[in-house]
Amino acid sequence: MPLGVVLFTVLAIVRCALGTYTDPSVLDACPGYHATNVATSGPNLTASLALAGEACNVYGSDIQTLSLQVTYETTTRIHVKITDADETRYEVPESVLPRPLADPSVDPSTAAIQFNYTASPFSFTIYRMSTGEALFSTASHALIFESQYLRVKTDLPKDPNLYGLGEHTETFRLPTENLTRTLWSRDAYGVGNGTNLYGNHPIYFEHRLSGTHGVFLLNSNGMDIKVVTNDEGSSLEYDVIGGVLDLYFLAGSEIDPTEVTRQYAEVVGTPAEVPYWSFGFHQCRYGYTDYVEVANVIVNYSNADIPLETMWTDIDYMYNRRIFTVDPDYFPITRMREIVNYLHDHDQHYVLMTDPAIAYAPNENYSTFDRGSAADVWLKAENGSYFLGVVWPGVTVFPDWFNPDIQDFWTNEFQLFYNPEYGIDIDGAWIDMNEPSSFCDVPCTDPFQQAIENDDPPARTTLPPAPNTPIFGDEYRKRALSKREYTGPENLLNPPYMINNAAGDLSNRTSYTTATHANGMVEYNTHNLFGTMMSTATHNAMLARRPGLRTLVVTRSTFAGAGTKVQKWLGDNLSDWEHYRNSISGILSMASVFHVPMAGADICGYGDDTTETLCARWATLGAFYPFMRNHNTIGTIDQEFYRWPTVAQAARSAIDMRYRLIDYIYTAFHQASVDGTPILNPLFYKYPQDSNTFGIDLQFLFGPSILVSPVTEENATSVSMYLPDDIFYDFNTFQPVRGNGSYVDLEVNLTSIPVHIRGGVILPLRAQSAMTTTALRQQDFEIVIAPGLDGSASGSLYLDDGVSITPNATTEVSVTYDNGAVTINGTYGYNPGVGISRIVLLNVDEPTSAALNGRDLTDSVSYDPSTKVLEITVDLPFNQNVSVQIA
Whole-number Å distance between alpha carbons of 835 and 199: 43
Residue tagged active-site, from 167, 187, 572, 726: 572
Q: Which of 325, 340, 328 is nearest to 413 (CA)?
A: 325
Residue among 545, 481, 463 nearest 333 (CA): 481
Q: Residues of 799-832 as b/e, b for ≥16 C-beta within 10 angstroms?
A: bbebbeeebeebbbbebbbeeeebebebebebeb
Contact between 305 and 652 (Cβ < 8 Å): yes
Distances (CA, A) of 704 to 10, 567, 757: 55, 20, 10
572 tagged catalytic: yes
| Backbone angles phi and psi of 345, in degrees to 5 | -70, -20
Dist CA 412 CA 12 (whole Å): 52
Query: Which residues, in sequence order, are bridge partners of residue 721?
Result: 744
Residue 488, Cβ neighbours under 10 Å: how many?
A: 14
Q: Rounded to whole angstroms, how far apart are CA atoms 280 and 349?
A: 10
Q: How far is CA 725 from CA 23, 310, 733, in A?
A: 44, 40, 21
DSSP string for residues in 63-122: PSEEEEEEEEEETTEEEEEEEESSS------TTTSPPPPP-TT--GGG-SEEEEEETTTT
In angstroms, the Cα distances linking 135 to 35, 80, 127, 264, 635 are 21, 14, 5, 16, 50
273, 427, 432, 726: the active-site residue = 432
User: Does the annotation count 305 as an active-site position?
Assistant: no
Tell me the CA end-to-end span of the chain in Å, nearest whole number.
87
Q: Strands (DSSP E) along 196-294, which ranges?
A: 201-208, 211-217, 223-230, 233-240, 245-253, 281-283
Judge whether 706 and 758 are in contact, CB under 8 Å.
Answer: yes
Active site residue 62: no
In DSSP terms, 282 is beta-bridged to 310, 629
Residue 1, number of CB atoms within 10 A of its CB = 8
Helix, strand, coil percentages in the chain from 3-state DSSP, rounded to 5: 25, 30, 45
d(CA 65, CA 709): 54
Q: Give me the helix-helix angle, 645-660 and 612-622, nearest 10°.
A: 10
How many CB atoms lie under 10 A from the CB of residue 474? 8
Rounded distance between C-alpha atoms, residue 62 and residue 46, angstroms: 21
Please, are residues 506 and 524 in contact by the beta-carbon 8 Å criterion?
A: yes
How open is the CA angle 721-727-728, to the nearest 5 degrees?
55
Encode burial over 94-127: b for 16+ CB neighbours within 10 A, e otherwise.
eebbeebeeeeebebeebbbbbebeeebbbbbbb
Catalytic annotation, residues: 432, 435, 572
